[in-house]
Structure 1
Amino acid sequence: MPMLDDFFSKLSTLAGGVSTDHLKMIFTLLASYPVALIYKRLPHNPNLKHLFSIIIAIIVLFEVFDLSNAFYVMLGGSLISYAIIYFVKGVWGPRLVFLYALGHLSINHIYRQFNHITYDKYDTTGPQMVLVIKLTSFAFNVFDGRRPNKELTPYQRSKAITSMPSILEYLGYIFFFGGFMVGPAFEFMDYRQFTNMEMFHNVTGGPIKYYVPNGMIPAMCKLGFGIFFILCIVTFGNNYSVDWALSEEFKNTSFFNKLIYIQIASFCARLKYYIVWLLAEGACILSGLGFNGYDDHGNAKWNRVTNVDIIAYETADNIKSLLDTWNMNTNKWLKNYVYLRVTPPGKKPNFFSTIATFGTSAIWHGFYPGYYLTFISGAFVQSVHRTLRRNIRPIFLTPKFSSLKPLYDFFGWLFTQTMIHYVVIPFNILSLRNTLTIWKSLYFYGHVAIILVNAAFWLGFNKVIANIVDEDLKKKKGQVKKWKVERKERDGEGKVAINETGIPLEFDNSSVCLEKEE
């Protein structure tokens, strides 16, 4: 029996029945801050740092969570993956690791689902999801280290592993105390350069061999915001459960009240992600791992392992911007080790790349129907977003309607937030039947919006919009193909995208611009 079980049982009672595993997770994340201070003051000996992380992981898994089986799963899976990539030299090395790691995780996901283990209970699948990201990225990095540099992208070259790590260094990476439970996941080369201090070599340009900036202030900011969101959940968050949308009382309220409740409930549901990601990132910053070089003003950047940009997420006025700021390390993994890896060299990513990425993300999360309802619905929402942005946004870039651009941005934000809160309902509910019950209470407004937008453009609404746009710009629409836009203030030459008044516009695929020689 773990030594802290009695303490957490009593604390759970005092906290009104809060899950003991939730309390254990918060305790572990908060405890990682003093652990980070100890870690930072260890002698400059990488092997000692690797061993320190492994010991901390054993203590947490055995004595706090009673998850000895998770430790053995992680240890066994890591050693098997190491052996595969060590002996299989070609492209099938990382592929086999990917299939093994994701397959093993899938078995545990299915076990959890069939045994009805609720998410109040933390089990093997939690740390194993982080492990899959680490093992698969490590395998591809070793494979890249065996390839000629000319075949690699700049990102692949920066992460390529040219010399296999020792077992101790490898396990130190797997069990790094700041991220083995809930993330953040990061690349092996980041870990190696962090533990051998290469990350900090000559960063000031002076004679000092290495200098580790003080990350206390940014770390405390992450800690402070994490605690703030804990207080938000304690004070009002628990009063806005998505599950309440299954009640008769919810069904009998007006549509407007239902809509407002879902917005609040969905916001409260993501607070738990904000909490664990912020607290984990703060500990990584405090240890030094979060350091990511210096900006143009010489200030240290601490965003190496950032997993969420809360302000950008909450203020996003389009779906793409919103998704780019959520679970960023997982998105980075899906992009670099699925989306781009299944694309043939020299080719652009195609429909298969998208499907492979979608499928991997869905399997990685598990097999509850709710996950797939969210991902599939989300794909349609993204499609609608692209259609609307491509056709509507150009109107507000013309001189005639440019003054209304802030209003367009506001409605973009409102549409984005309202749709994403609708789409994530099944992700929080998980059950197919319960999801359909809630969506029915909301009159399937998200799917109705998707159908109406697509129907409108199928019936020629885009032609109506085209007539609104200034005639000269309309003639140019569709003629502009490939652009090489160079800002005048940077290079003083080349071509720039301008509007009819001669004011340079920031070009993107949804803008309607004219081309003018400087």
Structure 2
Amino acid sequence: MEPKESGIVASVAESIGTCPDSLRLIVSLLAGYPLAFFHRYFLYGKAQDLQHIYFVVTGLALGYFNFGPNVLHTAVNILIIYVLLRVNGGTVMSVVLSFIINMTYLLVGYYVNMTGVYNIAWTTPHCVLTLRLIALTFDIYDGKRKKESLSEEQKETAIALPSLLEIAGQNYFFGGFLVGPLYSMKRYLDFTKGAFSDSVTGGRPNCVTPALLRLLAALFYAFTCQVGLYYIPENYLLQPAFQELCYINKILVIALYSKVVLHKYLTCWLMAEGCCILVGLTYHGKDENGNELWDGCANIRIRRYERASTMQELIQSFNVNTNRWMSKYVFKRLKFLGSREASQSITLAFLALWHGFYSGYFMTFSIEFLLVKFEKEAGPLLGDTTLVHLLRSNIIGRILLWSMKKVYTHFMLGYALVAFCLFTFDKYWHVYRTVYFLLHVVLVSWVVIHPQLVKNSKHEQNGRVQGPVESDPL
């Protein structure tokens, strides 16, 4: 592999209309497939240490190809956490220190690499590494607790302290090093032990076809992303052409913008997941028909994503592993607060900080929090209107209603992603101003009027209950 300073990648990237860093990342994700085939046919079922070494060497090579010597930041961070676990692993203090050390290292990296625009730097794989190392600290802590005090979810990942080579192998595995997916140390060690072998022959897992299907899906989303970027470039919302559109067209463009942005992430997630499937890491048992499932590390539920017609459904369909991680290691660990909304708010704040310092991240997740709350509260009221009942009464009405919900959902998501993608206050505020802060107005208004609606609804219910009682001759 050529070093980052080489001009070949830059010239190829220029010829196809992309940036060198993005091209390196895509090439590295695709390189995972021949590396996975090599492991499959020459290393699968062999000594675990040999597999760990292979993953460390190849992962570091891909890291150097993308980030040069800066890839060593991952090695330093892994070593620091390993020393922490050797000295104090399995204690509450180790969990607290792990959060502090890993997040501090990551946030310093973000600060050093802040440019005001999206860039792929050594912090890209490091943010994934941060969550894996924090999870490892938690899992070792759970491994020393009494089993009866653990939830079923915690029992699945509780573990004793692994060796430094095992920790390095898990984190440098080429299928998950650069962009994820997240997977537990327990799953990784089971995989290297051959626990996911073919259930009939005991040999290599029968997972080539599902892996290649995932790769094909990734290539499809890569194509649609490039087509979308041709019509809606990433900086289009800041251009005069967008400002000159009529209001309805601005709404539609923002809705399409969400698709373009997400397809960029879907491409990377699906490529990485396909590689993980190919080596056999993602085994997830069998379905009711006895077919093997390979979605144990899925970061995107394609069918659910494409069918989603609410914000909640969209959130549940993509970035699945990160959402599951946040739920398991942050949200559920805050149960002692006694407030679901407080736990959710802290979790979203941590999720925003994990992405970086830009105010756009915090704006996006604040909007997401309010949107989910709005749908939960307003959905039943809107669904009970005469118009909705009329639309649901025939096939044309149902298609129209579904189409309206899809535009609504992707506009809402696109509106939130404006801040996520433009990072800085001056940029995303400029875009929000052109659509008169539509979603902000809706969400803030709902927060104000919802308590009154609930109050009026209770009065009406009380009136309906009391009326018959007063007129009842019995």
SS in 1 for 2:299: coil
Cα distance between partner residues in 1 of 2:167 and 2:226: 39
Letter in 1 for 2:192: T
The alignment partner of 1:340 has SS state of helix
Name the residue aligned to 1:293: 285
Greater alpha carbon shift after TM alignment, 257-266 vs 422-431: 257-266
Change (3 A) 1:191 1:103: same
- CA offsets, 1:287-340, max 9 Å, x none? 111221111111110101100123322322222221111211111111111111
What is the alpha-carbon distance in structure 2 between the residues aligned to residue 309 and residue 459 of structure 1? Answer: 38
Amino acid at match of 2:75: L
Which of 323, 341, 346 is the matching residue for 1:356? 346
Show the counterpart of 2:410.
417
**Counterpart Cα distance in 2 of 1:228 and 1:4:** 30
Alignment RMSD: 2.8
Alignment partner, residue 308 of structure 1 = 300
Give the Cα–Cα distance (whole angstroms) in 2 for the partners of residues 461 and 169 of structure 1: 55
Deviation at 1:224, TM superposition (A): 1.0
Corresponding position: 1:441 with 2:434: yes
Question: How do residues 34-73 of structure 1 correspond to structure 2 at under 5 angstroms?
Answer: 34-43=34-43, 44-62=46-64, 64-70=65-71, 72-73=72-73
Query: What is the alpha-carbon distance in structure 2 between the residues aligned to residue 69 and residue 3 of structure 1?
Result: 11
- Over 3 Å counting, the alpha-carbon distance change for 1:233 and 1:320 in structure 2 is closer
Find the aligned partners of 1:433 and 1:374 in 2 and give their Cα distance.
Answer: 15
Bigger relative contact order (CA 8 A; separation at least 6): 2
> 2:22 aligns to what?
22
* CA 452–351 in structure 1, closer or farther in 2 if over 3 Å, else same: closer
Query: How far apart, in 1, do the equivalents of 2:315 and 2:346 lie?
Result: 18
Separation of aligned partners in 2, 1:127 and 1:394: 46
Question: What amino acid is aligned across from residue 255 of structure 1 in structure 2?
Answer: Y
* CA distance in structure 2 between the partners assigned to 1:190 and 1:93 by the alignment: 22
Q: Which amino acid aligns with 1:165?
A: P
2:259 aligned partner: 267
Which residue does 2:125 correspond to in 1?
A: 127
- 1:244-283 correspondence to structure 2 within 5 Å: 244-283=236-275
Structure 1 position 318 matched with structure 2 position 327: no
Q: Distance in 2 between matches of 1:117 and 1:451?
A: 28
1:76 aligns with 2:68: no
Match of 2:194 among 191, 194, 197: 197
Aligned to 2:470: none
Cα distance, 1:158 vs. partner?
Answer: 1.0
Residue ranges of structure 1 left out of the alignment (5+ in a row): 476-518
The correspondence for 1:375, drawn from 342, 365, 369, is 365
Letter in 2 for 1:12: A
Q: 1:399 to 1:4 in 2, by over 3 A?
A: closer
- Once the two structures are superposed, the pairs formed by residues 205-224 of structure 1 within 5 Å of their partners are 210-224=202-216
Match for 1:133: what amino acid? L
Instruction: Give the structure 2 partner of residue 11 of structure 1.
Output: 12
**How far apart are the structure 2 equivalents of 1:253 and 1:401?**
30
8 Å CA contact 2:259–2:410 kept in 1: the answer is no
Q: Aligned partners of 1:415 and 1:233: how far apart in 2? A: 21
1:335 to 322, 327, 331: 327
Match of 2:161 in 1: 164
Deviations 1:434-468 (A, max 9, x none): 1111111111111122234445534438857997x
Q: Is the 2:302–2:317 contact (alpha carbons within 8 Å) kept by the matching residues of 1?
A: yes
Query: CA 1:82–1:342 in structure 2 vs 1: closer, same or farther (change >3 Å)?
Result: farther
Q: 1:231 to 1:381 in 2, by over 3 A?
A: same
Which range is displaced more, 19-28 or 458-467? 458-467
Q: Report the counterpart of residue 499 of structure 1 in structure 2.
A: none
1:399-478 residue pairs with structure 2 within 5 A?
403=393, 406=398, 411-460=404-453, 463=456
Query: Which SS does the other structure have where 2:333 is aligned?
Result: coil
Task: Give the conservation status (yes or no) of the 8 Å contact 1:242–1:262.
Answer: no
TM-score under structure 1 normalisation? 0.82
| Number of the residue aligned with 1:31 | 31
Q: For residues 124 and 262 of structure 1, do their structure 2 counterparts lie closer, same or farther at Cα, with a shift above 3 Å needed?
A: same
- In the alignment, the residues of structure 1 paired with residue 87 and residue 339 of structure 2 have an alpha-carbon distance, to the nearest angstrom, of 30
Q: Which amino acid aligns with 1:107?
A: V
Q: CA 1:212/1:371 → structure 2, altered by over 3 Å: closer, same or farther?
A: same
State the distance in 1 between where 2:450 and 2:335 align: 31
Q: CA, structure 1 residues 401+441, in 2 after alignment: closer, same or farther (shift >3 Å)?
A: closer
Inter-CA distance 351–232: structure 2 relative to 1 (3 Å threshold): closer
Indicate conservation of the 8 Å contact 1:67/1:123, yes or no.
no
Partner SS state of residue 199, structure 1 = coil
- Measure, in 2, the Cα distance between the counterparts of 1:374 and 1:3: 33
C-alpha deviations, 1:126-172, integer Å up to 9, x for none?
010010111011111011111100010001011100x3222211211
Distance 1:59 1:151, change over 3 A: same
Compare 82-91 and 128-137 and name the one that shifted more.
82-91
Distance 1:417 1:178, change over 3 A: same
Q: TM-score with structure 2 length normalisation?
A: 0.89
Query: Following the alignment from structure 2 to structure 1, what is the Cα–Cα distance between the partners of residues 289 and 157?
Result: 26
Q: In structure 2, do the counterparts of structure 1 residues 109 and 265 end up closer, same or farther at CA, with 3 Å as the change threshold? A: same
- Which residue number corresponds to residue 511 of structure 1? none
Aligned partner letter, 2:343? S
Is 1:86 aligned to 2:86, yes or no?
Answer: yes
Q: Which stretch has the larger CA shift, 126-135 or 249-258?
A: 249-258
Superposed displacement of residue 9, structure 1 = 2.1
Aligned mates of 1:239, 1:159 — CA distance in 2: 45
Aligned match of 1:179: 176
Q: Which amino acid aligns with 2:62?
A: V
